[in-house]
C-alpha cells in the first residue's frame, strides 16, 4: 500500500497539522525523524482541556516557545481548577502569539483573577481580526493605549468591565469592528457607558444579572441586533437607521419597563422583528402580578414608538403562559402601519387562551397591508380551526389548510372563501331514493318463523355458558382498556428550563458558625460565585439541631479592613490577658468587656496586635479600671484557652467580642450567648473611636446590671450580634448551569484566619433536590401511574455525616458525588401530549477526605445529557369496541358450532337406538 503522506511536502504536512488540536499535533513527532519538528511549523495552536493538569503549564510553555512560524489562530483554554496559574506566564504566551502575527485569538480563562490585564502588546496588535475572551468574572484592565486596526469580531463572556472611560477607549481603538457580542458581562454599578462603533453590523447582548447602569451604543451601520435576558439596565441605541433584523427574547413583565422602552425606541427603524416572550416562574403567583402587568400595558400604549418600516413580525410565547401576551400583540400591531406578514413561530400551543380572549372580547382588526399570517405547528384541531376563523374576521381568504405540522397561510388575494359551515360535512339521505324492496334484498340476517324453531335443554345450557363467557371476557377487556400502560425510552435532554437548573437544599451544620459559613458555586465553564446570600438563609442552631433564634444576617461585607502601618515604635501592652478562671469575674466587674480572641500563628492577629494594645493603653489611661470601671480591653490566647474559646463559639481569628454586664446570659441547655461582634477597621483610631462610643452612654457611677445600648447610631455599621450558638442551618436555592460543577459550603472570610483542625463540617441533610418543586398531589398522581418514580428524587434527605474531632478525624472534608438524570412523564394523545411532571433523580456517593486545607462540605454534581422519557400509551376506543364485538361474535359462533355438533350427535344416537328396536 502506497504511503501518500510521505510524498507530500513539509509545508503541506504542517498545514494539515494546523487542523488538529495541539496535543494531537505534538504526538505526531514520534512517527519519524522527519515528523519530529513538523508541529512547530503549524499555523494554528489549540491548547484545550485535553492536556493533563499535572503538566499543563510546562507543556504549553514548551510548545509556544519552540514554535517557529507565524500563528494565524491561537486558542488557550484553561480550566477553573488551575487557580494557581501564574498570570505573567499567560501574558508571555499571548505576547508570543502577537509577535507571530496572530489573526484569531480565543482565550478561555476558567479561573478568576481579581485584576487581570492581558499582555499590553495585545491591545496594539496590527493583525488581530477575531478576538474571543471568556474569563469567569475576571476584572478586565484596559491599558491607556488601544489600537486594533484589523479587529472585526469581538466576543466577550463573563468579563467584569469597570469604568466607562476604559470601555470608550477600547472601542475607539477598533475602527473596523463589525461583530460585537457581550455575554453575561458584569458592569460597574451607577456608570454610564458609551460604546462608539461606526462600522458595527451585528450586536448581540445576553445578560442574566441586574445592574442599575446605562449603556449607549452609537452604531449608525447596525444591521442585526439580538438581545436575550433580563432588562433592568437602560440601553440606548443611537443612529441605527440601517437596522434590518431585531431578535429580542425577554420576560413579558419587562415589556413596559424603562429599560425595554429605552431599547425599543432605538430599534424602531427595523424591518423585521422577532419577539419571544416568557414569564418568570416565581412571578406568576404573586398577588400584585395582575396590577403590575396592567401598569406596564398602560405604559406600552402611551410610550411604544411607531415602527414605520416594520413589514415582518414573528412572535412566540414560552411554555409558561404569559399574562399580557394578547395586549402586547395588539399594541405592536397598532404601531406597525406597514406590516405585511405575521408569524406565530410556535403556533397556538401556548397562546391559544390569550388569542381566544382577544377574539371574544373585541373584534380583531388587521392593518390593510397585512396579507400573510403564518401559523407553524398547525394540527387542525377544532380549537385551532375556530381560532383561525376568529382571526379571519371579517372573512379572510385562505390558500389551504393542512392538518399536519406544516405552516398555515392566510391571504387576502387568492383561494376559496371558508366559513364555519364549510367545516361540516353534509350527508344526503339515500333512503328516499331506494325502494323498500331493494333494501330487503341486501338483508344479511334473514329471519326464520318462530313456529319452525325448536328449543333444547343442551342449547339452553350452552347459551348460559356462552353468556357467562361473554360477560367474563368483556370484563377482562374493559379492565385492560382502563389500565394505564407506559413506554420508557432514553432520549437526548429536551429540557424546557434552558441552561440553568435549580438546586434547593436545607443542610444543618452543628459545629459550623453562621458567622463564617459561606455557600460557593463553581462549574467547568469558569463560573465561580463566592458567598451567595441573595437566595440563601441562615439560622443558628445548637448541637441538637434545634433553632435558637431568628434568621442570622451577616451584614454587608467590607471591601477591606484598615490596619495600622508597620512601624518601629516600641511595643506596648495595654490589654489584660484573660483565662477561663477569671473571665467571668472580670466580666462582672466592668460594664463593658471587649475581648480579642486570637491565635499567635494567625497573620491577621499579628497585624491587629499593635493597634489593639495601643487602643487598650489609651482606654486604660482615659478610663482607669480601678476608679472608673466602665470598660476594659482584654485578650484570650485560643491556643492555650481552647475550652474558653469553644464555649464562646470562636472559629475565626481574630474575633473581637463585646460583653455587657447583665446582658451576656448563657443557657446551659443550648449554649446561648447574647453578645456582639466587632467587624470594623482595626487601626488604633478606629478602635478607640468605637470604644468611646460604647462608653459614652454609661454614667460613671451607678453601674446598672442591664445596660441599654444607646450607642447604636455611632457603632451600628461596625458591630452586629454574634452567632447565638456554634451551629448553623443553611437553606435556600441556587441556580447552576447544566454542566459539571460544585456546591461548596465551608468557613470563609477575607479578614480572618482559621485553624483547619478545629473546623468541623459535619452535617445533616434535611432536603436536597434539583429542578422545580413538585407538589405532593402531583407526585401522588404520578405514583399511581409509575410506582417507582421519585424513589431517588430526594436520595440524600435524612442522611447524617458526622466526624468527631476527639478522634483522629481532624481536617476532614466531606465530599458527595451526585449524578443527575432527568425523568419526564408525558400523558395524553399523540397530538395533545402534555408534560405531567419533570423531575430530576440522582445517585449519591459520599466520602471523607483528610487534607491540610480548610475542611468543606462539597457537592460535586454532573447532569446526564440524556433523559428518561415515560409516555402513556393511548388506547383507541374504536379498538376497544372492535375487541368487544369480536368477543361477542366469537363466543356466539363457537357456542353455535358446539350446539350443532351436540344436537346432531344426539339425533344420530336416537336413530341408532330406533334401528335396533326394529
Q: What are the residue numbers of the active site?
A: 602
Short-list 668, 667, 676, CA closest to 694: 676
Question: First and final CA of the chain: distance in angstroms?
Answer: 103
> How far is the C-alpha of 246 from the C-alpha of 319, rounded, in Å?
22
Cβ–Cβ under 8 Å, residues 764 and 541 = no
Query: Which spans in 590-668 are helix H?
Result: 603-622, 642-647
Give SS3 for 700: coil
C-alpha cell at 31: 512517527
Cβ–Cβ under 8 Å, residues 514 and 749 = no
Q: What is the dihedral of CA 2, 3, 7, 13, to 10 degrees?
A: 150
> How far is the C-alpha of 542 from the C-alpha of 536, rounded, in Å?
19
Give SS3 for 418: coil
> How far is the C-alpha of 332 from the C-alpha of 388, rounded, in Å?
20
Cβ–Cβ under 8 Å, residues 723 and 540 = yes
Cβ–Cβ under 8 Å, residues 247 and 274 = yes
Short-list 210, 247, 256, CA closest to 230: 210
> Positive or negative, the Cα torsion across 348, 224, 76, 67?
positive
Cβ–Cβ under 8 Å, residues 813 and 853 = yes
Contacts of residue 897, defined as CB under 8 A and 6 or more positions apart, other chains included, come to none
Query: Which spans in 173-324 are helix H?
Result: 258-265, 289-303
Q: What is the dihedral of CA 201, 206, 211, 214, to 10 degrees?
A: 10
Give SS3 for 430: coil
Length of the chain: 918
Place of cell 458555586: 521
DSSP string, 814-831: EEEEEEEEEEEEEES-GG
> How far is the C-alpha of 747 from the C-alpha of 812, rounded, in Å?
13
> How far is the C-alpha of 817 from the C-alpha of 848, rounded, in Å?
12
| Stretch (H or E) spanning 899 | helix 877-917
Query: Which spans in 173-267 are helix H?
Result: 258-265
Q: What is the phi/psi pair of residue 479, to 5°?
A: -65, -40
> How far is the C-alpha of 772 from the C-alpha of 294, rounded, in Å?
28
> How far is the C-alpha of 728 from the C-alpha of 554, rounded, in Å?
12
Q: Left (φ > 0), alpha (ψ -120 to 50) or beta: where does 563 sit? A: beta
Short-list 697, 695, 693, CA closest to 715: 693
CA 431 to chain centre: 67
> How far is the C-alpha of 76 from the C-alpha of 95, rounded, in Å?
13
- Which residues share a beta bridge with 871? 487, 826
C-alpha cell at 441: 334484498
> How far is the C-alpha of 842 from the C-alpha of 795, rounded, in Å?
7
CA 287 to chain centre: 25
Short-list 719, 767, 682, 748, CA closest to 513: 748
> Positive or negative, the Cα torsion across 616, 621, 624, 629?
negative
C-alpha cell at 339: 406590516
Amino acid at each position: 500500500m502506497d504511503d501518500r503522506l510521505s510524498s507530500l511536502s513539509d509545508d503541506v504536512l504542517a498545514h494539515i497539522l494546523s487542523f488538529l488540536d495541539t496535543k494531537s499535533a505534538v504526538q505526531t513527532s514520534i512517527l519519524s525523524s522527519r515528523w519530529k519538528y513538523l508541529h512547530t511549523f503549524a499555523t494554528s495552536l489549540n491548547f484545550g482541556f485535553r492536556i493533563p493538569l499535572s503538566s499543563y503549564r510546562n507543556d504549553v510553555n514548551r510548545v509556544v516557545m519552540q514554535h517557529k512560524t507565524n500563528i494565524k489562530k491561537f486558542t488557550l483554554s484553561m480550566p477553573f481548577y488551575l487557580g494557581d496559574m501564574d498570570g505573567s506566564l499567560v501574558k508571555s504566551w499571548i505576547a508570543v502569539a502577537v509577535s507571530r502575527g496572530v489573526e484569531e485569538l480565543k482565550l478561555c480563562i476558567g479561573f478568576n483573577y481579581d485584576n487581570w490585564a492581558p499582555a499590553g502588546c495585545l491591545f496594539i496588535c496590527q493583525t488581530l481580526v477575531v478576538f474571543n475572551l471568556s474569563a469567569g468574572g475576571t476584572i478586565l484592565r484596559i491599558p491607556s493605549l488601544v489600537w486594533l486596526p484589523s479587529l472585526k469580531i469581538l466576543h466577550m463572556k463573563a468579563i467584569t468591565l469597570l469604568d466607562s472611560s476604559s470601555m470608550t477607549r477600547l472601542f475607539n481603538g477598533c475602527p473596523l469592528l463589525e461583530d460585537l457580542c457581550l455575554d453575561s458581562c458584569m458592569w460597574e454599578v451607577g456608570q454610564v457607558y458609551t460604546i462608539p462603533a461606526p462600522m458595527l453590523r451585528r450586536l448581540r447582548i445576553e445578560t442574566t444579572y441586574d445592574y442599575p447602569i446605562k449603556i449607549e451604543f452609537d452604531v449608525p451601520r447596525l444591521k442585526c441586533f439580538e438581545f436575550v435576558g433580563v432588562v433592568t439596565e437602560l440601553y440606548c441605541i443611537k443612529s441605527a437607521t440601517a437596522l434590518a433584523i431585531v431578535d429580542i427574547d425577554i420576560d413579558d413583565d419587562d415589556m413596559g419597563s424603562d429599560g425595554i422602552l429605552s431599547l425599543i425606541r432605538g430599534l424602531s427603524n427595523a424591518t423585521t422583528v422577532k419577539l419571544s416572550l416568557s414569564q418568570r416562574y416565581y412571578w406568576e403567583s404573586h398577588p400584585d402580578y395582575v396590577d403590575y402587568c396592567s401598569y406596564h400595558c398602560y405604559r406600552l400604549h402611551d410610550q411604544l414608538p411607531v415602527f414605520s418600516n416594520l413589514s415582518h413580525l414573528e412572535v412566540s410565547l414560552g411554555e409558561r403562559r404569559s399574562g399580557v401576551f394578547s395586549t402586547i400583540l395588539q399594541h405592536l400591531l397598532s404601531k406597525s402601519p406597514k406590516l405585511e406578514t405575521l408569524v406565530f413561530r410556535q403556533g397556538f400551543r401556548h397562546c391559544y387562551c390569550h388569542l381566544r380572549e382577544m377574539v371574544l372580547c373585541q373584534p380583531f382588526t388587521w392593518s390593510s397591508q397585512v396579507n400573510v399570517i403564518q401559523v407553524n405547528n398547525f394540527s387542525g384541531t377544532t380549537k385551532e380551526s375556530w381560532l383561525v376563523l376568529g382571526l379571519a374576521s371579517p372573512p379572510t381568504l385562505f390558500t389551504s389548510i393542512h392538518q399536519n405540522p406544516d405552516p398555515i397561510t392566510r391571504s387576502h388575494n387568492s383561494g376559496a372563501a371558508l366559513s364555519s359551515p364549510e367545516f361540516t360535512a353534509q350527508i344526503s339521505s339515500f333512503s328516499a331514493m331506494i325502494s323498500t324492496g331493494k333494501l330487503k334484498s341486501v338483508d344479511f340476517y334473514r329471519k326464520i318463523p318462530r313456529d319452525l324453531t325448536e328449543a333444547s335443554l343442551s342449547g339452553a345450557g350452552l347459551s348460559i355458558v356462552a353468556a357467562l363467557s361473554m360477560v367474563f371476557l368483556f370484563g377482562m377487556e374493559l379492565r385492560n382498556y382502563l389500565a394505564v400502560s407506559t413506554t420508557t425510552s432514553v432520549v437526548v435532554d429536551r429540557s424546557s428550563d434552558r441552561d440553568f437548573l435549580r438546586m434547593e437544599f436545607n443542610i444543618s451544620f452543628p459545629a459550623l458558625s453562621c458567622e463564617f459559613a459561606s455557600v460557593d458555586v463553581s462549574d467547568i465553564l469558569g463560573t465561580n460565585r463566592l458567598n451567595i446570600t441573595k437566595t440563601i438563609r441562615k439560622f443558628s442552631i445548637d448541637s441538637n439541631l434545634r433553632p435558637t433564634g431568628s434568621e442570622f444576617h451577616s451584614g454587608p461585607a467590607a471591601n477591606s479592613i484598615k490596619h495600622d502601618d508597620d512601624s518601629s515604635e516600641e511595643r506596648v501592652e495595654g490589654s489584660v490577658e484573660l483565662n477561663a478562671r477569671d473571665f467571668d469575674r472580670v466580666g462582672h466587674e466592668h460594664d463593658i468587656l471587649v475581648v480579642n480572641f486570637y491565635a499567635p500563628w494567625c497573620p491577621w492577629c499579628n497585624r491587629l496586635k499593635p493597634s489593639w494594645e495601643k487602643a487598650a493603653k489609651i482606654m486604660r489611661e482615659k478610663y482607669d479600671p480601678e476608679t472608673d470601671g466602665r470598660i476594659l480591653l482584654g485578650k484570650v490566647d485560643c491556643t492555650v484557652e481552647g475550652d474558653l474559646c469553644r464555649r464562646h463559639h470562636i472559629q475565626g481569628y481574630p474575633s473581637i467580642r463585646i460583653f455587657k454586664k447583665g446582658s451576656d446570659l448563657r443557657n446551659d441547655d443550648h449554649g446561648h450567648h447574647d453578645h456582639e461582634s466587632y467587624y470594623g477597621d482595626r487601626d488604633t483610631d478606629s478602635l478607640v473611636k468605637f470604644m468611646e462610643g460604647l462608653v459614652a452612654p454609661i454614667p460613671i457611677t451607678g453601674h446598672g446590671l442591664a445596660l441599654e445600648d444607646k450607642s447604636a447610631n455611632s457603632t451600628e455599621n461596625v458591630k452586629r450580634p454574634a452567632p447565638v450558638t456554634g451551629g448553623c442551618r443553611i437553606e435556600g436555592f441556587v441556580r447552576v448551569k447544566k454542566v459539571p460543577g460544585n456546591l461548596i459550603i465551608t468557613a470563609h472570610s477575607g479578614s480572618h484566619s482559621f485553624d483547619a483542625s478545629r473546623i468541623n463540617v459535619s452535617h445533616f441533610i434535611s432536603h436536597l433536590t434539583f429542578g422545580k418543586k413538585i407538589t405532593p398531589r402531583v407526585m401522588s398522581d404520578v405514583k399511581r401511574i409509575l410506582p417507582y418514580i421519585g424513589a431517588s428524587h430526594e436520595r440524600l434527605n435524612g442522611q447524617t455525616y458526622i466526624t468527631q474531632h476527639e478522634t483522629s478525624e481532624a481536617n476532614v472534608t466531606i465530599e458527595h458525588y451526585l449524578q443527575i438524570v432527568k425523568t419526564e412523564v408525558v400523558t395524553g394523545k399523540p397530538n395533545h401530549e402534555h408534560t405531567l411532571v419533570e423531575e430530576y433523580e440522582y445517585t449519591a456517593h459520599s466520602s471523607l477526605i483528610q487534607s491540610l486545607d480548610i475542611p468543606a462540605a462539597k457537592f460535586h454534581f454532573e447532569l446526564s445529557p440524556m433523559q428518561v422519557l415515560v409516555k402513556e400509551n393511548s388506547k383507541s376506543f374504536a379498538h376497544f369496541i372492535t375487541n368487544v364485538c369480536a368477543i361477542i361474535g366469537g363466543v356466539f359462533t363457537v357456542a353455535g358450532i358446539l350446539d350443532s355438533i351436540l344436537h346432531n350427535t344426539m339425533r344420530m344416537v336416537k336413530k341408532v337406538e330406533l334401528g335396533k328396536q326394529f
